[in-house]
């Protein structure tokens, strides 16, 4: 089984027939794959941050940031996979084996993110960033008087974790889902 392969078996003659991968909309075919990956990453990260911040605000008094991150990122694996299939690589047929074959990427990102979130939480990274921004002359003029200084919200930590796991996921996904079709083409030549 090759994921991300742009070849489809014709039902009439059993020969491989070249076509574009099935994306959520045909207009996406005109956008380069790297740019589609950035668009997908932006949308996926936005959804992830909204979900993570919602869960963090609901459960931060019961669980650590790293526990919330870990649970949510595991639940989010199918959502992220579906978005990348629909926008970047094309919808695989059958879907479930593709999801299962890429789940190690999501689980690895969850492990990296959980470790990094726990580490950044232990060193009070959000508080350090807030203190730095308050001391920066440009930020001092824009500083708002809010009462949330006594609690670390996890926002800056979440951004760092998203960047690190996003870079990892990009290269791992492109290798697993995108490069196999390129290597198959090279072998045929």
3-state secondary structure of 17: strand
What's the pLDDT tens digit per position in 7-58? Answer: 333 334 433 344 567 888 888 889 998 899 889 988 998 999 899 999 999 9
* pLDDT score recorded for residue 8: 38
- In angstroms, the CA 11 to CA 32 distance is 29
Bigger pLDDT: 173 or 62?
62
* pLDDT score recorded for residue 75: 95
Mean pLDDT on 108-126? 92
What's the pLDDT tens digit per position in 56-86? Answer: 999 999 998 889 989 999 999 999 999 989 9
Q: Any idea which of 51-55, 72-76, 171-175, 177-181 has the lowest mean pLDDT?
A: 177-181
* pLDDT score recorded for residue 115: 94
In this prediction the pTM is 0.70
Please, where are the H alpha helices in the chain?
A: 33-59, 65-84, 95-122, 125-135, 137-142, 155-173, 179-188
Beta bridge partners of 78: none
Bigger pLDDT: 37 or 4?
37
- In angstroms, the CA 71 to CA 138 distance is 37
* pLDDT score recorded for residue 51: 94
What's the pLDDT tens digit per position in 135-161? Answer: 877 665 555 555 455 456 678 888 899
* pLDDT score recorded for residue 19: 58
The C-alpha angle with vertex 82 and arms to 77 and 85, in degrees rounded to 5, equals 125
Query: Cβ atoms within 10 A of the Cβ of 6, count?
Result: 17
């Amino acid at each position: 089984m090759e994921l991300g392969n742009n070849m489809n078996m014709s039902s009439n003659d059993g020969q491989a027939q070249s076509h574009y991968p099935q994306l959520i909309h045909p207009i996406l075919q005109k956008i380069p794959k790297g740019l589609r990956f950035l668009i997908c990453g932006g949308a996926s990260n936005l959804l992830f941050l909204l979900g993570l911040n919602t869960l963090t605000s609901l459960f931060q008094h019961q669980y650590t940031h790293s526990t919330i991150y870990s649970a949510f990122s595991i639940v989010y694996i199918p959502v992220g996979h579906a978005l990348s299939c629909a926008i970047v690589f094309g919808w695989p047929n059958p879907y479930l084996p593709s999801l299962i074959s890429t789940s190690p990427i999501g689980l690895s990102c969850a492990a990296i993110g959980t470790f990094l979130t726990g580490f950044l939480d232990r060193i009070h990274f959000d508080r350090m960033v807030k203190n730095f921004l308050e001391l920066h002359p440009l930020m001092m003029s824009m500083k708002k008087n809010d009462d949330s200084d006594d609690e670390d919200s996890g926002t800056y930590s979440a951004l760092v974790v998203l960047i690190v796991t996003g870079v990892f996921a990009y290269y791992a996904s492109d290798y697993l889902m995108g490069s196999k079709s390129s290597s198959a083409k090279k072998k045929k030549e």
